[in-house]
Amino acid sequence: MPGLKEIRKRIASVKSTKQITKAMKMVSAAKFRKAQARIIEMRPYADKMHAVLTGLARTVESGHPLLEVRPRRKVEVIVLTSDKGLCGAFNTNIMKASLKLIKNIQAEGVEVSITAIGKKATDLFRRRGQAARRSWTGISGRISYMNAKEIAADIIENYTNELFDEVVLVYNEFKSALVQKVSVVRLLPLAPVDGHAEQGAAQEEAADFLYEPSQQAIFDQLLPKNLEIQFFRALLESQASEEAARMTSMENATKAADDMIGSLTLQYNKARQAAITKELMDIVGGVEALKQ
């Protein structure tokens, strides 16, 4: 059984850890509120832009490189994680989903290349001996539109040069402070509108449009812009999900520290009581020996 001094040291150590986790929870809570506000403001714009473009894509008079559907010879998988840990299963879920997706694509006889966003994704594929084609780190917590623009420019350039034939993004979609959902989204070629009702509405809306200067010129400007917007949205979704997961993880760690402190305090009191009882018995035994 541990001695009183050892138990006291363990209690002090757990109390120090509790202070750290409690502080991290408060910091994550502040960051989460800001990230949540940004993604809530961003979603309507990103959804509407994507819906309009997917509807208009059916009426475009001539082809556009980003709309071109080619045989799947090579697929680019973009994996979006965080740079830091201590956020529960946030990164683990992304990694599992990414590895499963890559395995399924390769099982179809299709080559896979990887873009890793975040230190955790970069380290994962480096450890597996599957180096990423491109990697971005240092974005977490400092997301700007320029980050999305830089990533989109790289993807557009390589897609139009036919380095790969399809682009798939794996990221955590923010649902609530307690729920983050792993989403797998095909970015290129531009996916059609889901559902017959939405499809019909998009076609009807597109039919009423007048294009100035031209339909093709509008697509040349808006399609790259749409990809930037979708990347920016994914970065914001991931940031909100990361802070929510870290806030929850640190709250659970703080509660676990409280439970451990209670358990160690009980153990300390029992050990102290046993030591006092032993000393009393030694004194009583000594007195009885003197009487004899």
CB 77 within 8 A of CB 102: yes
Residue 200 φ then ψ, to 5°: -65, -40
**Does 213 sit behind a cis peptide bond, omega within 30 degrees of 0 on the bond before it?**
yes
87 is catalytic: yes
Residue 174 φ then ψ, to 5°: -80, 125
Q: Which residue bears the tokens 């208009």?
A: 56
**Which entry of 7, 46, 87, 190 is annotated as an active-site residue?**
87
For 68, the 3-state DSSP assignment is coil
Strand partners, 258: none
85 Rama class: left (phi>0) / alpha (psi -120 to 50) / beta: beta
CA distance 223 to 203: 17
CB 55 within 8 A of CB 205: yes
CA distance 130 to 41: 37
Report the number of secondary-structure helices (H) and strands (E) in the chain: 6, 5
Catalytic residues: 87
